[in-house]
Amino acid sequence: MDFINIKHVNKVYKNGVTAIYDLSLKIKKGDFVFIIGGSGSGKSTLIKMLYREERPTSGEIMLGGLNVAKLRNSKVYKLRRKLGIVFQDYRLLPKLTVYENVAFALEVIGAKKDEIRVKTLKAIDLVGLKAKTRNYPTELSGGEQQRVAIARAIVNNPRLLICDEPTGNLDPDMSKEIVKVLETINKEIGTTIIMATHDREIVNEMKKHVIALKDGRLVKDYEKGTYDNEIV
């Protein structure tokens, strides 16, 4: 079953720069996908179109039966409640504890207190931070802060987790830890994961579904791929 179906998508920015050319691809439910490519390849633009930060100039982006490309601005929040998004910078609230940062994602949608507690503790446990629930972001390493960000992104059981260079600020060892956390989420919960990255070592080691972009065009789409030299 195709969870995401992108058909003939083009993206031209107002300054005339074309970021994506006639892109078509499919992603199955429960897949773990790396989107790779050098600077200017279109990775970030594709990621932003998936969560409707950007809208394609033409073409269709179907996500779980919803045409994201035609979604009205007033309805975008409904889409994002079904998604988890993790960025390179952790975007944690510095005055809140680990528990409070994760719980906040449920509080803003009006979840009940009992539900918040159960889901928050489960998400924190899943990312391996059970012993850090009362710590503040400044008391955590970069890798731990990114784990909190992941816990916050998955606390509402999204069907899709979008990660935009989540290891970009981390050293190689921490980067591997974060990807292991993502793999656990993918396997244990069945969450579809899309991760934009330029981390060659991780992509080559994991051998997951790899989508490679170059100059806005799809150049590789492998079920079990690596970071090919051709796309740099």
Q: What is the mean pLDDT of residues 176-186?
A: 95
pLDDT, one tens digit per residue, over 50-98 is 999 999 999 999 998 889 988 889 989 888 888 999 998 999 999 999 9
Domain extents in the chain: 91-158
pLDDT at 80: 86
Asked if the model's pLDDT at residue 130 lies above 70, the reply is yes
Mean pLDDT of the residues in the chain: 93
Confidence band (pLDDT; 50, 70, 90) for 231?
A: low
Q: Residue 65's pLDDT is what? A: 85
Say if residue 39's pLDDT is above 90: no
Task: Please report the pLDDT score of residue 226 as a whole number.
Answer: 86
Helix H or strand E segment including 195? strand 192-196
pLDDT at 229 over 70: no
Following DSSP, what letter does each residue of 54-116 receive, concatenated?
Answer: S--SEEEEEETTEEGGG--GGGHHHHHTTEEEE-SS----TTS-HHHHHHHHHHTTT--HHHH
How would you label 48-85 residue by residue, b for 16+ Cβ within 10 Å and e otherwise?
Answer: bbbbbebebeebebbbbeeebbebeeeeeeebeeebbb
Euclidean distance between CA atoms 84 and 51, whole angstroms: 9
The band of 1, judged by pLDDT with boundaries at 50, 70 and 90, is: low
Of 229 and 129, the one with more pLDDT: 129
Residue 2: predicted pLDDT: 74
Q: Which of 34, 65, 33, 67 is nearest to 52 (CA)?
A: 67
As a whole number, mean pLDDT of residues 6-29 equals: 96
Residues 147-170: pLDDT tens digits? 999 999 999 999 999 999 999 889
SS3 content of the chain, % helix, strand, coil (to 5): 40, 25, 35
Q: Which residue has the higher pLDDT, 94 or 229?
A: 94
pLDDT of residue 166: 93
